[in-house]
Amino acid sequence: MLTYDLKKSPGVPLYEALYRCIRSDILSGKLTPGQKLPSKRALAANLEVSKITVEAAYNQLISEGYICAKEKVGYFVEQIEGFPKAPAPRSAPVEPSQTENTVDLTAGGSVQFPFSVWSRLQRGVMLDLGESLLRPLPNQGHPGLRRAIAEHLRAFRGMDVSPENILIGAGTDFLYNLLIQLLGRELVYAVEEPGYGKIRQIYAAGGARCVDAPMDELGVMPHKLGQAQVLHISPSHHFPTGLVTPPARRLELLNWAASGNRWIIEDDYDSEFRFTSHPVSTMQSMDRRGRVIYMNTFSKTLAPSIRISYMVLPPALMAQFREKLGFYSCTVPSFEQHTLERFLTEGHFEKHINRMRKAYKNKRNRLVELLKNSPIADRITILEQDAGLHFLLRIRTELDDGALTARWAQAGIRIRALSEYYHGTTPPQDERCLVMDYSGLTEEDFSRLETALKEL
């Protein structure tokens, strides 16, 4: 068991002292890559500190890549090239932790990134553009990329968008923050309930008041929006229910917006992964009165580490952006913008999306097959619409959600209940639904799943 005399570091918080001790042991080689660390509880007892102190120290070590956490297994010293030699691992990024024997149905994953194409385009951009890559970019983003995105939206989404109404930013987190500044933080923002919790956190951090937008089986209900002046919505594929809002409800929502000078932020985050060919058209396309802000990102379709998102503003709002916030610099490096421009205009993105869609569809089908042939087959219903990277699994059981997900965890499956995506209201109590995100499943996961489902 690790034993340190933490009293030796006056003026340094306890967790920091502990963190330093462990880090020092890793750097010196006393703790070796792959070695398991004591559990938080055990180490806390041994050192006579609180579990929170140990947790804080472990978290810091994780964030710096010294150790990793394996769900339900424990904490391990990381395998990083260059350890334990010296300070400078040139740096394999930290792997998202995954236990050896756990299948994770909560974390998405990007597959089949066209790495060699992307690398070739990067080299071409460097050679062709040279110094000109170093010049400051227009704050809305590189015009060529904006043209390419407009063309992509025309071809894939039937949208008629002018490049000058597109604004490129380093991720949707950043763009939401811009929107709060543009629309005003004194407005009331409604977010889908249930929904993706991070959006709520960002609006709150930006100083805006956030309320629930309750949903029925068609999507957000306009008459339940109360005092809201901005509605953040993902009508083409709601997370986590998978709901696709039909055109009639979309029109109702557009009327809600137009009638009160309100705004709709249409978050189209995974529309590329629709499995059939006739998607519902975007609300942005249906909007005749300039109330819809369209948002999308390349993080889901390419890779999370490529930080390029964009939004399409109504022309009047873009004019306001230029006037009020035109001092902001563009947040995306020009090199990345030019590479993505070529990736789009040369047709690689289309091919990539088609490949991804097939891969995801295969994963979805295999998962459905597994479930249908599993011992729980007679107790489950798969709820899905024609879209996305996840579906809902309704289960007849006497267990509550906590006990249910705990049982799955025991069997080696990490999963979340739908109720975990309710933030402002009480989730319905009458049914048990699990959210199955299959996008990150590997071959190995499928065989593990087959075994695990038998243990439920």
Residues 270 to 329: which contact a second copy by CB under 8 A?
Answer: 299, 302-307, 315-316, 319, 322, 324-325, 327-329
- The 175-194 contact track toward a second copy, x by CB under 8 A, reads --x---x---x---------
Of 88 and 248, the one with the shorter C-beta distance to a second copy is 88
Closest contact distance (angstroms) between CB of 242 and a second copy is: 23
> Which residues in the 65-94 window bind a second copy by CB under 8 A?
65, 80-83, 86-94
Q: Which of 6, 332, 404, 436 binds a second copy (CB under 8 A)?
A: 332
> Which residues in the 1-60 window bind a second copy by CB under 8 A?
13, 16, 56, 59-60
Number of residues that bind a second copy (CB under 8 A): 93
Phi, psi of 113 (to 5 degrees): -60, 130
Of 17 and 253, the one with the shorter C-beta distance to a second copy is 17
Q: Return the residue matching tokens 């590479």.
A: 339
Phi, psi of 104 (to 5 degrees): -100, 110
Q: Which of 71, 164, 431, 450 binds a second copy (CB under 8 A)?
A: 164
Half-sphere exposure of 456 (CA within 13 A, CB side): 25
Q: Which stretch binds a second copy (CB under 8 A): 111-119, 238-246, 265-273, 373-381?
A: 111-119
Peptide bond into 427 cis (omega under 30): no
Of 168 and 243, the one with the shorter C-beta distance to a second copy is 168
Residue 129 found at the interface with a second copy (CB under 8 A): yes
Of 308 and 433, the one with the shorter C-beta distance to a second copy is 308
CB atoms within 10 A of CB 223: 8
Of 325 and 399, the one with the shorter C-beta distance to a second copy is 325
C-alpha span between 122 and 348 (Å, rounded) = 13
Q: Which stretch binds a second copy (CB under 8 A): 35-43, 113-121, 353-361, 413-421?
A: 113-121
Of 322 and 414, the one with the shorter C-beta distance to a second copy is 322
Q: Where do runs of H (alpha helix) occur along 184-282?
A: 197-205, 247-259
What 3-state DSSP class applies to 253? Answer: helix
C-alpha span between 111 and 109 (Å, rounded) = 6
Closest contact distance (angstroms) between CB of 98 and a second copy is: 12
C-alpha span between 369 and 336 (Å, rounded) = 40
- The 187-226 contact track toward a second copy, x by CB under 8 A, reads -----------x--xx--xxx-------------------
Residue 128 found at the interface with a second copy (CB under 8 A): yes
Q: Which of 40, 232, 342, 448 binds a second copy (CB under 8 A)?
A: 342
Q: What is the DSSP letter of 144?
A: H
Closest contact distance (angstroms) between CB of 181 and a second copy is: 5
Peptide bond into 84 cis (omega under 30): yes
> Which residues in the 389-448 window bind a second copy by CB under 8 A?
none
Instruction: List the 188-193 sheet strands across, edge first.
Output: 166-169, 309-312, 292-297, 263-267, 230-233, 188-193, 209-216, 219-220
DSSP letter string, 42-99: HHHHHHT--HHHHHHHHHHHHHTTSEEEETTTEEEE---TTTTT-S----PPPPPP--
Residue 245 found at the interface with a second copy (CB under 8 A): no
C-alpha span between 358 and 273 (Å, rounded) = 9
Closest contact distance (angstroms) between CB of 252 and a second copy is: 24
Q: How, if at all, do strands 166-169 and 309-312 pair? A: antiparallel
Q: Which stretch binds a second copy (CB under 8 A): 130-138, 244-252, 372-380, 448-456?
A: 130-138
Angle formed at CA 341 by CA 340 and CA 346, multiple of 5 degrees: 100
Q: Which of 10, 34, 136, 347 binds a second copy (CB under 8 A)?
A: 136
Closest contact distance (angstroms) between CB of 383 and a second copy is: 28
Token reading at 315: 């022309």
